[in-house]
Structure 1
Amino acid sequence: MNYSELLGVLRFEYHRQRARPYKLESFMNNYKTLIYEEKDSVAWVTINRPEAHNSFTSEMQKEFRSLWQSLRSNDEINVIVLTGSGEKAFCVGIDRDEPFTAIDQEKGFYGTSNNFMYDDPGDWLGPKSNDLWKPVIGAVNGMACGGAFYFLGECDILIAAEHATFFDPHVSYGMPAIYEPMSMLNKMPFGEVMRMSLTGNSERISADTALRMGLVTEVVASSDLESKAHELALSIAASPPSAVQGTLRAIWAALDLGRLGGRSIAPSLLSTSMDSQALQEGAESFSTGERTEPRLR
């Protein structure tokens, strides 16, 4: 193994282990800012602060970390759908009614004992940041801006209601946009991320434009969003979890590490995600000649 391959393995292992030291108590179905439901083998997670456009608070950050950690070990759940409550907003980022330590600076710039102790909200909110490697479908039910990209940047597939909009207002309010556009480079072309980040409140990306640039994979009527998301989730959940999660990890590894770095760990991913029973069942299914009628999109 050469140096670049070793570096790729070390970086992948670092990100894989990053969230594991945190062992927070799970309070499934007892959330204050989220709604959690299980339908078949699909978990539905709804950001539930519609009165505040589903903005996130410190309490929500803790609940999301607990939720993602709990779902890692829940073998009954194969796919997650993430959406927002109501039709106005998916999420508008941080709740600005909470203390803003960058202004008051009572405990350092980030409100911690020193600035090196800072945890960005995305470390708590994002499924991948919390080492959850089950497919997450983002069903964008309205406005998504600013800190909403902590979620969208770590979803695997995005679909949107036809009235959904996307924008990043940071610079309009005197704040640099840092973490959010970094994560959105995984979802949008460089020029589109740059334009969205620099124009702030001046422009909003429509659902149709988001589809055209590849940010979302499908745009549906608001009334159809839930059913389409569930249909998509069930189609993914129908395949063996080992094959799905191995594929998911491989694609993200190549994205994070580059093609050569991803290929250096591909044999390990392949051997880890192989399941003899799933392979046998797949071979038997293929031999019957029966095929599922695909949906053309």
Structure 2
Amino acid sequence: MHNTSVAGDDAALTTLRLSVDAGVAWVELNRPEVLNSFDETMLRELAGVWARLRLDDEVRVVVVTGAGEKAFCTGYDRSGLDADDGEDESTALLKASSPFLRADVGDFLGPKSCGLWKPVVAAVNGIACGGAFYLLGESDIIIAADNATFFDPHTTFGMPAVFEPLHMLRRMPLGEVLRLTLLGSAERMSAQRALEIGLVSEVLPSDRLRAAAGAIAGTVAALPTLAVQATLRSIWAGSEMTPGQALGVAHALVAAGTDPAALAAGQQAFRTGNRPQWRLR
């Protein structure tokens, strides 16, 4: 059964822009006046968007980026927090009676934490810091503009950095995570350095970033959906397992992700030489 597209629901969003075109959903953090930092409204809207995209069969790939040229995301908007206790009504979404029940922003920010197992391409324009790493940590392909910078300001302002570097351990060498986190706001990682250590896979001039993200997402969106999603799940599951455990479930994932019709079409394309044009990265 085909689900209704989410594209028409964009008008209800106040902190995001959402559109769907040719199987690709574009999710734009839209608070450029505060460098696309997130508040409770954005947290709720992001969680809702991830849930909607998860069930929309028209959407096969997602691109997430930030509005404007200055920032991708600068983490939690602390401008409204009370200086005495660091909390006010704007943090009600995260409060609980027990530390064992307390929510974390990652429960709302991260696409995979919200059950969205479709490929996510992050296009980083400008600053990405602090809570931005929740989004980057759960993205599948990250590309960046040449003016992008990365840092984690928590320690500078007396806060422990915990969730953010734990997400980054998937994407960066340990020494780089330690340096990025411990130096706080005193140092920023350049896009070029992020490319060198594998945090991002491509760096482009800022005016080419969206086109590049669209090309990557469009390429993946044109592939057989079941095969793509099974591949995605297997790689992420394998990143949390020992090699032996991962190989032990590989046959089940192959079986679950094989669509006979798509397989036959792929074999026919192979026989006839109908293969895509490739580019060298």
Q: Please give the secondary structure, in 1, of the residue aligned with 2:78.
A: coil
Asked whether the equivalents of residues 35 and 45 of structure 1 are also in contact (C-alpha less than 8 Å), the reply is yes
In 2, are the aligned partners of 1:28 and 1:67 still within 8 Å (CA)?
Answer: no
Whole-Å separation in 2 of the counterparts to 1:195 and 1:37: 37
Stretches of 4+ aligned residues off by more than 3 angstroms:
98-102, 104-107
Report if aligned partners of 2:28, 2:66 keep a CA contact under 8 Å in 1.
yes
The partner residue of 1:83 within 48, 65, 79 is 65
The answer to whether the 8 Å contact 1:56/1:93 transfers is: yes
Aligned position for 1:74: 56
Deviates more, 1:114-123 or 1:203-212: 114-123
* Deviations 1:134-172 (CA, angstroms, capped at 9, x unpaired): 000000011000000010000000000000000001000
Kindly state the Cα deviation for residue 115 of structure 1 after the two structures are TM-superposed.
2.1
- Selected match of 1:31 from 13, 28, 50: 13
Asked if 1:255 corresponds to 2:255, the answer is no
Q: Which segment is superposed worse, 262-271 or 113-122?
A: 262-271
| Correspondence for 2:31 among 49, 57, 61 | 49
Q: Deviations over 1:92-149 (max 9, x none)?
A: 0000023369925789x96322222211000111011011110000000110000000
2:45 is aligned with 1:63:
yes
SS where residue 28 of structure 1 aligns? helix
> CA, structure 1 residues 64+104, in 2 after alignment: closer, same or farther (shift >3 Å)?
closer
Q: 5+ unaligned residues in a row in structure 1: which ranges?
A: 1-25
Residue-by-residue CA offset, 1:154-192 (whole Å, 9 max, x unaligned): 000000000000000100000110000000111111110
**1:46-70 Cα deviation digits (max 9, x unpaired):** 0000000000011111111111111
Q: Distance in 1 between matches of 2:36 and 2:246?
A: 36
Given that 1:102 and 1:111 are in contact with CA atoms closer than 8 Å, whether structure 2 keeps it comes out as no
Q: 2: distance between equivalents of 1:218 and 1:67?
A: 27
Alignment CA distance shift 1:204-1:104 (3 Å)? closer
* Secondary structure, counterpart of 1:128 in structure 2: coil
* Cα distance in 1 for residues equivalent to 2:82 and 2:265: 55
Counterpart position of 1:279: 263
Q: Which amino acid is the alignment partner of residue 179 of structure 1?
A: F
Q: Quick check: 1:199 aligned with 2:183?
A: yes
Query: Does structure 1 conserve the Cα–Cα contact (< 8 Å) formed by 2:111 and 2:135?
Result: yes
**Aligned residue identity for 1:252:** W
Contact 2:82 2:88 survives alignment (8 Å): no
Task: Indicate how the Cα distance of structure 1 residues 104 and 240 shifts in structure 2: closer, same or farther if over 3 A, else same.
Answer: closer
SS in 1 for 2:20: strand
Equivalent position SS for 2:85: helix
1:190 to 174, 198, 211: 174
Shift of 1:262: 2.0
1:97 aligns with 2:79: yes
1:9 matched residue in structure 2: none
Sequence identity of aligned pairs in percent? 48
Distance 1:106 1:257, change over 3 A: same
Alpha-carbon distance between aligned partners in 2 of 1:52 and 1:59, rounded to the nearest angstrom: 14
| Contact 2:81/2:87 (<8 A) preserved | no
CA contact (8 A) 1:42 1:78 kept: yes
Shift of residue 27, structure 1, vs aligned partner: 8.9
Corresponding position of 1:13: none
CA RMSD of aligned residues (A): 2.2
Q: Residue 19 of structure 1 aligns with which residue?
A: none
Q: Is the 8 A contact 1:101 1:111 kept in 2?
A: no
Which segment is superposed worse, 165-174 or 95-104? Answer: 95-104
Q: 1:104 to 1:121 in 2, by over 3 A?
A: closer
Match of 1:56, SS state, is coil
In structure 2, the CA distance between the partners of 1:264 and 1:79, relative to structure 1 (3 Å rule), is: same
Distance 1:99 1:106, change over 3 A: closer
2:9 partner amino acid: M
- Cα gap change, 1:102 to 1:219, in 2 (>3 Å): farther
Q: Hey, what does 2:132 align to over in structure 1? A: 148
Q: How many residues align?
A: 273
Task: Choose from 149, 167, 179 the match for 1:165.
Answer: 149
Q: Secondary structure at the match of 1:226?
A: helix
TM-score, normalised to structure 2's length?
0.92
Contact between 1:65 and 1:124, CA under 8 Å: does it hold in 2?
Answer: yes
